[in-house]
Structure 1
């Protein structure tokens, strides 16, 4: 390891990080709030939207899932554009597209227009989910990178909680228009905030603008820290990277990192989280809970997502990414299995309480064990030379499997019942635990450049980092 890398790896968590570091993370994580709000608001809106527009189960799945099609496109496009225009500028564009899509959905006169508006919203959701974690990862000091990046997931959870609250407050025919339109406010805040933030120092070094990167890092690191050493480490890794080409992601040394990033991305959806987020009020209402009880339960789910986000933000830095997953994912699978069993019981007050308790436990455990890691692990483990397109691929995987869940959840319930569907998701949680045990390394408190060196070294990535 070079001297520059050694100095970078030993940069301490002084507890006196400049306020600008937290401002960067907070403003950019507004993209997470918009992401959470625009994906979560459909759950409450759907109860009345389906009546106002006379939607069948398949029509409901289309309205829910079209945002995910847009997200897949946005994830790919943002990764390509970020290499040319920078991370900060792409997040700024994302905010503008958010506002346009939210206004379009709010004033949509028919189903076709609403679907088109949600497709536009999807472009921004995909761009935000791809670029905001990358931006934070490349700006944050290694010692606090985990908690700052998990702030993004926490803001997603807060956005979903706000969405559930709005679904309850504006319940009734036509109220869904207000629900959609409110997203313009945080979109405008994100756009204004991003105009004040610096560009990623790693992207600046890649563009040959090391002097600007040096000035940025001096604002983002404590006094006395040798930012020249950090610049040297970034430059060393950047120069050793292969030239960008269409085959870069196929290089053998990248496969362990891609396997981890894509595997975690896939399991983040296959374990069932968004089947609950999107359809919980609909599932509960159809199961006899009543619309009001279903919406209030949705607020509880949103609150659990926030608690999970806060707990996950602490856990990933306190005990590590890998151990957080291994502690909480088994409990997530158990809670989902209990939920499946509960729907086999006769309808009663006791059965309702078991359903609600299992739902809350599942959201809490999956939120900590999986959702707090999914947007963190990819930008950490993927090397600088392919971070844009590789993170896009991981984000595309998230949205692709999210789309799979969105377009099959209600159909699966109609085919095999609620219990059968939830048992399937419980099995996916078990498979995810096996994958983490075999493949996922620990990246806590490791500079991005050290992670890349471990990836390039012979042998297992997980063992190289553990050593």
Structure 2
């Protein structure tokens, strides 16, 4: 890969203009997150009514949820190759267009077979989006705000779920499940407009040898670096890598990074967050919230608290760091799962006990979005160098979706077979395991350039000691002319 002579750096825009462009990248990715969140949450209300219209069994109800996740696994597996081959922007355009088409078709489905087929295809689009959108944002924003910008995708996703639950509640009186499913086709079509105006990311242009274009876009989006030096650093880092194949992640120096991202992705979902997202009306009904549509309305307030928690994570993620946010979120999840185990274990779901259960669900969901929910996208986009980044994100999110598939398909059956108390106790044990795993493996990457983070993995999971003044650079992937980065 050539890092062609960069003879003339284009006149840089003002810092204000560059920041506005960076915010437009983040905003566009966030809109995709809203659509993803809406589609994730819309089935929770629609399932109550479509299961009656289509006379679904418990297994068929699980399949309506899990088949979308199965499609998402396929999308995540092909997403890495797609975003490398066609570009981050082209993948986002495909995602937005596919969302609009398949969401509209799901709302028009005449029977459950057609619904399942369309939801599988929608799942493929979702799988591509959760690889492409965070990557698009991460590679287009300055290091000092990258954590917040990528975590904003999670804010948007939660906002989409919040909107879903209020829509579900508003439409529940008439059982309008087709409207519940179909409304997100409108923003999916509209997001195509800003996407068509934006360039691809600097790192993708370097990956394809278009270094002059990379310098132009780097100057447009990051006022904190010398675009010529930064593009040269990206090109040098790419030249060091043997290729973007998945098997490259199984060899040193990135086997440790692969273990981290796969484990984090799996624990993110196996601890049960989408049991609440997909089945919250049923969970609240079992708690005793049945009057005046409470089982539809209360999930809206749960997601509002989650939205506030995600915003809080964004405000502190680039100040306190990734580890503090991640570990505190997982720890709170484990505590709330213990509370839910106790609540359901009493067998007295009435009066004050129902509100204790509601509070535990609210804090569990908020803690997930504060920790796992915000950091999964950040680590997926940071853990690997540019040539492995999309493949690494794809592998991580595939692990996440496999766990999601297990929860989506088997949670209702597990609740019926083992009971709610044992089910939540099992999820609590998994949350404790996730806490230990994150404590041992999660690096602190705040303030680090994407190319710099690979030094952590090269050094066996430790940050290299700072260079003495006047020492030579440790490798060609960092350019001595670049400004120093903040250390953890």
TM-score, reference length from structure 2? 0.89
CA distance in 1, matches of 2:313, 2:18: 21
- Tell whether the 8 Å contact from 1:38 to 1:121 is kept in structure 2 after alignment: no
Aligned to 2:473: none
Question: How far apart are residue 245 of structure 1 and its match?
Answer: 4.5
The structure whose residues are more often helix, as a share, is: 1
Indicate the residue corresponding to 1:9 in structure 2: none
Q: Distance in 2 between matches of 1:201 and 1:398?
A: 28
In 1, are the aligned partners of 2:253 and 2:458 still within 8 Å (CA)?
yes
Q: How does 1:158-169 map to 2 (within 5 A)?
A: 158-169=159-170
> What CA deviation, in whole Å up to 9, does each residue of 1:145-198 have, x standing for no partner?
000000100000000001101110111455110011101111012222211111
Offset of residue 286 of structure 1: 3.8
Q: CA deviation at 1:248?
A: 2.0
1:16 CA displacement = 8.4
Q: Report how far residue 106 of structure 1 moved.
A: 0.6
Provide the C-alpha distance between the structure 1 equivalents of 2:130 and 2:19, rounded to a whole number of angstroms.
25
- What residue is the counterpart of 2:357 in the other structure? 355
SS at match of 2:172: coil
Residues 15-70 of structure 1: per-residue CA shift (max 9 Å, x gap): 98520100111012211111111011111111212211111211110001111011
Q: Name the structure 2 match of 1:288.
A: 288
Aligned pair count reads 452
2:250/2:258 contact within 8 Å kept = no
SS state at 1:55 partner? coil
Q: Which residue of 2 aligns with 1:104?
A: 105
Native 8 Å contact 2:257 2:384 kept in 1: yes
C-alpha contact (below 8 Å) 2:103/2:181 kept by paired residues: yes
1:94-139 deviations in Å (ceiling 9; x for gaps): 0011011101111001111111111111011111111111111111
Q: What SS does structure 2 have at the residue aligned with 1:54?
A: coil
Distance 1:461 1:407, change over 3 A: farther
Structure 2 unaligned residues grouped into runs of 5+: 1-14, 467-486
Match of 2:3 in 1: none
Output the CA distance in 2 between the equivalents of 1:103 and 1:460: 46
Q: For 1:34-433, what aligned pairs fall within 5 Å after superposition?
A: 34-172=35-173, 174-222=175-223, 225-245=225-245, 247-290=247-290, 292-345=293-346, 346-433=348-435
Instruction: Give the 3 Å change call, closer, same or farther, for CA 89–16 of structure 1 in structure 2.
Output: closer
Q: Tell me the SS of whatever aligns to 1:29.
A: helix
Deviation at residue 455 of structure 1 after TM alignment: 1.9
Q: CA deviation at 1:252?
A: 2.3
- Asked if the contact 1:48–1:173 (Cα under 8 Å) also holds between the matched residues in 2, the reply is no
Deviations 1:420-454 (A, max 9, x none): 11111111111111011111110111001110123
* Deviation per residue, 1:185-230 (Å, 9 max, x gap): 11012222211111010010111101001111111122x8411111
> d(CA) in 1 for partners of 2:455 and 2:429?
35
**Distance apart, 1:327 and its partner CA:** 2.0
**8 A Cα contact 1:68 1:399, kept in partner:** yes
Q: Is the 8 A contact 2:62 2:408 kept in 1?
A: yes
Alpha-carbon separation, structure 2, partners of 1:114 and 1:80: 28
Could you list the runs of 5+ residues in structure 1 that have no partner in the other structure?
1-13
Task: Provide the rounded CA distance (Å) in 1 between the counterparts of 2:417 and 2:234.
Answer: 53
Q: Give, in whole Å, the separation in 1 of the partners of 2:367 and 2:419.
A: 24
Measure the CA separation in 1 of the matches of 2:449 and 2:175. 50
> 1:246, CA displacement in angstroms?
6.0
SS of the residue 1:140 aligns to: coil
3-state SS in 1 of match to 2:191: helix
| Correspondence for 1:449 among 437, 451, 462 | 451
> Quick check: 1:436 aligned with 2:454?
no
**1:344-374 Cα deviation digits (max 9, x unpaired):** 2313121211111111111111211211101
Change in CA separation of 1:166 and 1:389 when aligned onto 2, cut-off 3 Å: same
Work out the CA distance in 1 between the residues paired with 2:220 and 2:19. 7
Q: What SS does structure 1 have at the residue aligned with 2:288?
A: helix
Q: Look up the match of 1:7.
A: none
- The CA RMSD over aligned residues, in Å, is 1.8
Give me the whole-angstrom Cα distance separating, in 1, the residues matched to 2:17 and 2:201. 21
